[in-house]
Amino acid sequence: MTDPLAPLLELDGVAAAAKTAQDAVFAVHRHRANLRGGSATAAEASVRAARASAGTEGADPDLPDEGAVTDPVLAGALRVAEAAESLLPTWRRAPLQALARMHVLAAADLTTDADALGRPRTAAGVGARLELLAQLVTGATAVPGPVLTAVVHGELLTLRPFGSADAVVARAAARLTMIATGLDPKALTVPEVAYFRRTSRYHEAAEAFASGEPEGVRQWLLFSCEAFEAGAREATSIADAAAS
């Protein structure tokens, strides 16, 4: 069976960028603070990822000194992050179910229509493309983790499958893909910080991917690999602090 994503590795610079990104992430797992588990790094990375994901949507990423989080986007991103570990087995075998659950968590404070939570839009093509994406996640491709993660992320940003909290769900799904592919099995890195700090370029690259043109897809893949490297640097700073 032909791998549907294999041609992406032929795009100029993509294979090399994916290898560089993967090496950077693997190096974080060899940090002395992470060799025996890395739970402290992973916990901090999860919170930073959720805050940065919310910030990329224009929400205030700062956690209140006291009381509950009131920003609905940040609250949703934190709920999804908290559920990530329990969602991972579902993501591996039934990713559409995991996406539905992530949307329920992410969008609970953003819509008054409870029936819409977890239900993909009925617009033409959405269901079919989600099914294709699920096939990729469950084994229809053998491309490296950075490439599959970027495709999952970009496709969900493009589809906007639920009509609310879609970008938060897309980044959370990408995070699960990083774990599931073995790119970042301990969830130590924080590429979401790179998306937040370079929001304009993030959106430009996502739009380029959505065009479907080879150069646009290449631009998104290269940007994503840069973000994985930046996320590894963020993880190293977290691990350094944990080890000190």
Mean pLDDT of the 5-28 span: 98
Q: pLDDT of 107-145, one tens digit each?
A: 999 988 888 999 999 999 999 999 999 999 999 999 999
Tell me what pLDDT residue 67 has. 85
Tell me what pLDDT residue 36 has. 79
Tell me what pLDDT residue 184 has. 98
Tell me what pLDDT residue 43 has. 95
Confidence bin at 244 (pLDDT 50/70/90): confident
pLDDT at residue 66 is higher than 90: no
Mean pLDDT of the 192-214 span: 98
Q: What percentage of the chain exceeds 90 in pLDDT?
A: 91
pLDDT at residue 37 is higher than 80: no
Terminal-to-terminal C-alpha distance of the chain: 50
Mean pLDDT of the 190-195 span: 98
Domains in the chain and their CATH numbers?
A: 6-61+68-243 (1.10.3290)
Mean pLDDT of the 75-98 span: 98
Tell me what pLDDT residue 114 has. 87
Find the range with the poorest average confidence among 57-66, 164-173, 215-224. 57-66
Query: Which has more pLDDT, 67 or 169?
Result: 169
Q: CA 139, CA 30: separation in Å to the nearest integer?
A: 27
